[in-house]
Structure formats: C-alpha cells, structure tokens
Amino acid sequence: METTEGTKKKKITGSEAVILSLINEGVDVLFGYPGGAIMPVYDAMHDYYDKLNHILTRHEQGALHAAQGYARVTGKVGVSIVTSGPGATNAVTGIADAMIDSTPLVVISGQVASSLLGTDAFQETDVVGITQPITKWNYQIKNAADIPEAIAKAFYIAKSGRPGPVLLDITKDAQFGEFEYEYKKIDFIRSYRPLPKTDYSQIDEAARLINLAKKPMALIGQGVILGGAEKEALEFLEKADIPFAYTLLGLSAIPTEHRLNIGMLGMHGHYAPNVKTNDADLIIAIGMRFDDRVTGNLDKYAKKAKVIHLDIDPAEVNKNVYADVPVLGNVKDTLPLLTEKISPNNHEEWLQEFRALINVETQKIINKQINPAEEGILMGEVIHKVSEAFGNDAIMVTDVGQHQMMAARYFKFKQSRSVVTSGGLGTMGFGLPAAIGAKMGKPDRPVVLFAGDGGFQMTIQELGTIFQSNIPVKVVLLNNSFLGMVRQWQELFFDKRYAMTELVNPDFQTICKGYHMPSELVDSREKLDAAIKNLVEQDGPYLIEVVVEKEGNVFPMVPAGASVSDIRLE
C-alpha cells in the first residue's frame, strides 16, 4: 500500500504504523532484539522484510552500538528496537554514548499496556524517566493514532541541529490499536530551534583576529563531519594557511597527509599540537567542545591565545573555555562567511615550529613503534601495517583502551566518516557491534575493528550476529592479557600495584571456531605480514589475534591534572 502524504487513508494497527513510518523516513537497516512488549511490532515487520533489513543482535547494547556505527559512517539516523524492562535498560549505555558523541538515533522500546503502567508489572520499567537525561527528546505513546507524528518528530529532532538520540516508548495497547494512517514528515516544531542565529558582527571580529594572528592554530572537531563541512573547512584552512589538529572524533574530516595537519589533540595525542597550544596567539575551535581530555588543566590552557569558537550548540560556548569570539551556527554555513572575509596568508615559520616537534616525536616514539627493535610485537606496528594494507582508506572502528589511542595515532585516512569510536563515554564493548553497524552502512568499504582483549569480551556474543547475518567485518584483536589503559595508569601513578587488571583469557581461536568465524593467531613477528594479508584478502569476516607486548604503554601522555604543554614522551 502507498503511504506517502496525500494518499488515501487506510485503517491499520499501531504496530504496522511503526513499520510504515520507519519506511517513510527512509530507513532500510535497523538493529534490535524482540521481546513480549514489542512483539506486535516485530509481527508487523514480518510483512515488510523486502523493505527493511533487520539485524538481530545478541544483546540490546549491541543493537544500540550497531545503530551508532551505522549512523556515524552514513550520516543517517540509526534505528534500534528493543522490548520493555531489561531490554530497555540494556539499551541505556548505547543511548548515553550516542548522546555525548552527538550520534543521531531513534530508539523504539516496547512497554507494558497502559492499564498496567505504574503497577510494577512484569518487565515494566520507567524507561522515559531513566533516559530523560541522556536523550534529546523522549516520549511515551499510549494511543495508536499518535504514532506517526511521534516518529516524524523523533527523526527530525534526532538529525537536526546538534544530532543525538531520541527514544519512543510505545505501550502494548497502542501497538494493537487501530486508526486511519497518514504520514507527514516534520521539518518544524514550535519552540524547538535546532539552528542558532548567527551574529554576523562576530564573523567580522573573527576575521580580524585571524588576519592579525602570527601563530594561529585550528582545532577540528566532529562538528565538521556532522555538518558536512569538510570542503568548507579545508578551503578556510588553506586560504589562511593555518595548521590544524584533530580531536579524536574529528579524525578523518581532512585527509591525514594534508600538509597543514599537525596531529591529534589530547591526553594521548601528538606532541606538537599539545606543546604548541600554549604558544599559539589564536585558537580557532571548529565544531568541538573543549573536552577535558583535549584541554588538560583549564587553568593552564592556551593562556596566550584569543579563542574563536564556531559551534552549533550554544551550550558548548564558554562552558569550559572562554570564547573571545563565539560564532554560532552550522559550521558548513559559518565557515564560508569567514573564509570570504579573511586575507590569504602564509604561516610557514609557525608551521616549521610544529614540524620540528613532529620530528622529535617521530624519532623518539613513532619510529620505535612502527619499526621496533625489540622482540615483542607492538600495537603501533600492527595498526600501521594494517592501515597500509588497506591503502590507508578503510573505515577504522575501535573499542576503548590503549589500542584505541594507538589506532587513532597510527591509522591513516583518505576520506571523511572513516572513524567509529566511543569518545565521550569511553564505552568498552562498543567496538564489535559498532563495526557490524558500520559495515551495514557502508558495505562497499572495508571495515576493520581494533579491539583489546578486555573490551572484546564485553560484547563477544556479537560474533553470533556476524555469523547469522554474514557480515564481512575484519577484526584485529590486540591481546596483552591486561586491561591495558588501567594498567598503564597503575604503572605510572600507583607504583605498579596491578590491582585486578591482569586478565586470564579464554582461547579466542576456539571461540571463533564456535561462531564459525575464520581466525588465526599471531604470536611472533614472522607471522604478522601473512596474517594481515589474509585479513585483507578474505571475502567474509576474519579475525587475527595478535599477542602484543604485555606491558606496553601509550606515549605521548598528558598526566591527569597537568597542562597540555607538560605532555610526556616517556
């Protein structure tokens, strides 16, 4: 039946209305796990398998992270469906992760019948109350006729302005109820203003400061990617000849090999941008939020610099770092206005200061990681080799920990939306399901997951999803038999008192065999190149487990509470 606006209305159930509304919003892939309170929706879905590809994950958290991976690589809204009670509470971690990392999701949860609300019925939880602080909007639907408008609002809110997750909790009686269905997409909600008003006088002032600056430095955040402003950012940076550094989630917005790229910011970022932050006379923050892992000690952050902050979310301006010139709006719109007003410039002397420090880090750290002299395999050399084997043009997914920081440092990128990682929440277990979602979103691009032995086991059951749906994800499991990042802190700051961080691991090869996933073990450097070749050439999913140095550390490192310029090389 035709369902677009203006067609003849037809009486259908609320559950079918959910499915038709998703189709009308252009959803083609969704991730979920059925249960009693959402069963009517799954029953209705059975008639639309030709239009919707539902991926059955092994856990609701996996469904949420998969939807995040899908959203991050496509720019579309990710969709998850879960049941009530534990189904909904299992989804909370993924919702919180999406909120802090600005990932657009629509999460649909089933709920007990309206007559049972508040009675502590079987599998009843107040999911609206629980998720209110971690969603852009949430709403409980008790009437079938309210479903189309609620879903239209959910998609509009999730993807507009600064993106984020939205949750709709639908009671079982609303799923069974019948009404005359009509769907209208929404592009306006009274009192909701996703795009702030730009003050054009601030554009003039920002241009003035940029033209006067002798040592400007740009910070590229995920807002450039979310706004689709990669081209605009590049034109701005090249005209003004400004060196730029990425945040973790800003990685891949501009190709790694660009001459103005000075590296990644933050606690385990590159030496040059961290040290030179406190020498810069102008900081231009573009679509980033001055997270504590980027700034270090705020009392010592960029004290010589004026700050221009371009952002779509007014709440982020002056929250952590005072902005001398705030420029509100989507950076895709504001950057061209700024580029038009600035003068062409040349900052070669300033760039040479960065290059000198880049050379220091290359000699002291990078070369030793990618061409190690010691016998044990290092994370950096594995990641570097894998990146090159994929032509530096794969989608990189990570879990959370030492391998995440190493991957961010040693993997290279040629195109945008090539990084899927848990930034603000730092969710262990994120990687495997997120890689599934990324591959479903971009089936024509290679997707390679780097995971540690700790985080991998938190969602290891999603190997079953890969098997059932035949999703060709490539996995590099970096096994050091430790919760590596916590162990590193214990070594450096807790006198090597390794309290509960050493892992007694299972036989991962046997587990892979049980899930029918081809795999191989790399326990010596002589086996590494051949294993990576197999990883690249295998048509389907493939896992290589690499036994890496047990007590390796990630350097550089900004110690907690220190200034970014106090970054340690060892």
CA distance 19 to 153: 15
Selected catalytic residue, list 16, 25, 60, 361: 60
Q: Which two tokens stand for residue 271?
A: 């030496």
* Contact assessment for residue 491 and residue 480, using Cβ atoms and an 8 Å cutoff: no
Residue 176's alpha-carbon distances to 106, 126, 143, 171, in angstroms, are 21, 21, 9, 9
184 part of the active site: no
Cβ neighbour number for residue 231 with a 10 Å cutoff: 14
551 part of the active site: no
Handedness of CA 246, 251, 252, 253 (dihedral sign): negative
Q: Which residues contact 106 (CB under 8 A, 6 or more apart)?
A: 77, 78, 79, 80, 151, 154, 155, 158, 165, 166, 167, 168
457 part of the active site: no
CA distance 171 to 133: 21
Selected catalytic residue, list 9, 51, 122, 415: 122
CA distance 437 to 447: 10
Closest Cα to residue 66, out of 105, 22, 23?
A: 105
CA distance 64 to 91: 6
Q: Which two tokens stand for residue 339?
A: 């580029």
Selected catalytic residue, list 45, 485, 517, 557: 485
Selected catalytic residue, list 76, 136, 172, 474: 172
123 part of the active site: yes
What pairs with residue 443 in β-bridges? none
Q: Which helix (H) or strand (E) holds 140?
A: strand 137-141
Residue identified by tokens 């909370």 is 92
Q: Quote the crossing angle between the two packed helices 147-159 and 14-24, to the nearest 10°.
A: 30
300 part of the active site: no
Provide the annotated active-site residues. Answer: 60, 122-123, 172, 485
